[in-house]
Amino acid sequence: MQTYYNPNDLDKFSSMGDEAPQLWEKFMSYYGSVFEKGALSEREKALIALAVAHSVQCAYCIDAYTNSCLENGADEAQMTEAVHVASAIRGGAALVHGVQMKNIIKKTRLTMNELESNVEPLEIDAGSGNIPAFEDTLAENDITMLKSNNSIPVMQMNIGKICNLSCAHCHVEAGPGRTELMSRDIMSSGLDAMVENDIKTLDITGGAPELNPDFTWLVEQAVKRGRKVMVRSNLTVLDDEKLAHIPKLLAENKVELVCSLPYYSEKDTDKVRGDGVFKSSVKILQMLNNLGYGAEGGDLILNLVYNPGGAFLPGAQQSLEEDFRLRLKSGFGITFNNLYAIGNFPVGRFLTFLKQSGNFDEYMEKLYYGFNPDTLDNVMCKDQISLSYDGYLYDCDFNQALGLSRNKLHISDCKKEDLSGREIATANHCYACTAGSGSSCGGAVV
């Protein structure tokens, strides 16, 4: 059988000096001197050479120095130990480089450790990080300004910043200590605007929207007005006896659920959200499945949301969905309809993490160099409007978190022309929507 390594080729080694005789002579002089007896015996040097030959995996050298070891009196036990030494060093070198891997993980991964609060806010009026301003990148793609579509199918209501969790990546900086809640009057004005502007879908978010005392009223009123309702839930909030009626309410009103689950393992989920979150989430998902949510071909839609656990972009959405589906089904009997892979935006607590951990510039560069112009037609701000807890309209939930708007307008003053074809406020956090496959409230956009 013909192979790359022909033992006879070793005899042709000297042919490497045919076109460069002076270099060959110098090399062979040095080579010969190295293997002469010195502080080390010729046998010891042959054993070292044999070990190195195995480490660099040179078949010719293994051949040559196996013979050299035998010629210099080494036995098979010594030669075998030399090969094991080489193997140990080679393996140890690979393992010790794993420390570099762990350093990168430690730097880039989110944890529930308390974050410092004295971090500068994101500069929304100029380039953030060592990258061009988002508006300049739009201009390079012959776009002077993003505008919303003439027809707006979705209104997203952020009905409060109160939450039972304080997740390390939360752009809203929601938590148990927040007090902001949307009033029933503002909810009602939002529903009126939906009817007047033929906005078909109400997307309810927070915080944990279920903690708003008027959550039930809002769901029922939206359904009565013929609106499709979506609710974004962290799952664990439903693991509370005071809210035991909520899952049945959602099922009866055919509410579509979009539930965040950082990962399909307990360790990785609890790192981002806190101890016990994964077990609680699994419990609620199983309960929702028992109500009929997530069944194939059913009308109770259960979607999951994956956010990267640190300063890196999400992987391919389809591949992640397959992994989640396999692990949750095999490990816990859980089924769901779709998984949305949503990138982390440099806003709120995640921005704090980026700056405190020294990841900010590198992460912004990842977003910038990942810019994909094909995402621009499908970014979420083009076909939705976001209503804040205090009644102001924004292009998206992230602009809302930053207080960023080209024309800050209260829902009570909203007219139809204010929503369709409106000019969209942009800044460098928008790179998170346009990197790679893009990111939106519905996951990847291309």
Return the pLDDT at 119: 45
Type of residue found at 321:
E
Name the 3-class secondary structure at 249.
Answer: helix
Position 126 pLDDT exceeds 50: no
Position 368 pLDDT exceeds 90: yes
Q: How confident is the model at residue 7 (pLDDT cuts 50, 70, 90)?
A: confident
φ/ψ of 246, rounded to 5, equals -65, -50
Rounded mean pLDDT of 341-354?
94
**Residue pair 269/261 in contact by the 8 Å Cβ criterion:** yes
DSSP β-bridge partners for residue 160: 181
Rounded mean pLDDT of 296-314?
95
pLDDT tens digit sequence for 262-275: 999 999 999 888 89
pTM over 0.75: yes
Rounded mean pLDDT of 148-163?
96
Cα 425-427-428 angle, rounded to 5 deg: 155
CA distances from 401 to 31, 102, 160, 270 (A): 68, 33, 12, 25
Q: How confident is the model at residue 78 (pLDDT cuts 50, 70, 90)?
A: very high
Nearest-angstrom CA–CA distance, 119 and 380: 28
The secondary structure of 316-372, three-state, reads CHHHHHHHHHHHHHHHHCCCCCEEEECCCCCCHHHHHHHHHHCCHHHHHHHHHHCEC
Return the pLDDT at 125: 39
Calculate the average pLDDT of the chain. 92
Q: How confident is the model at residue 231 (pLDDT cuts 50, 70, 90)?
A: very high
Residue linked to tokens 């939930």: 397
> What domains does the chain contain, in order, with CATH numbers?
7-99 (1.20.1290.10), 136-434 (3.20.20.70)
Return the pLDDT at 124: 42
Rounded mean pLDDT of 369-375?
95
Rounded mean pLDDT of 368-375?
95
Position 128 pLDDT exceeds 80: no
Rounded mean pLDDT of 415-421?
86
Return the pLDDT at 271: 87
Q: How confident is the model at residue 123 (pLDDT cuts 50, 70, 90)?
A: very low
Which residue has better confidence, 94 or 115?
94
213 exposed, middle or buried (CB, 10 Å; 0-12, 13-18, 19+)?
exposed
pLDDT tens digit sequence for 318-330: 999 999 999 999 9
Nearest-angstrom CA–CA distance, 146 and 368: 17
Helix axes 317-332, 277-290, angle to 10 degrees: 80
Nearest-angstrom CA–CA distance, 355 and 119: 7
Position 113 pLDDT exceeds 90: no
Position 279 pLDDT exceeds 70: yes
**Residue pair 184/322 in contact by the 8 Å Cβ criterion:** no
Type of residue found at 240:
D
Return the pLDDT at 122: 46
Return the pLDDT at 363: 94
Q: Please report how many Cα atoms fall inside a 13 Å half-sphere around the Cα of residue 91, on the Cβ side.
A: 6
Q: How many CB atoms lie within 10 A of CB 439?
A: 28
Q: How confident is the model at residue 441 (pLDDT cuts 50, 70, 90)?
A: confident
**Residue pair 342/439 in contact by the 8 Å Cβ criterion:** yes
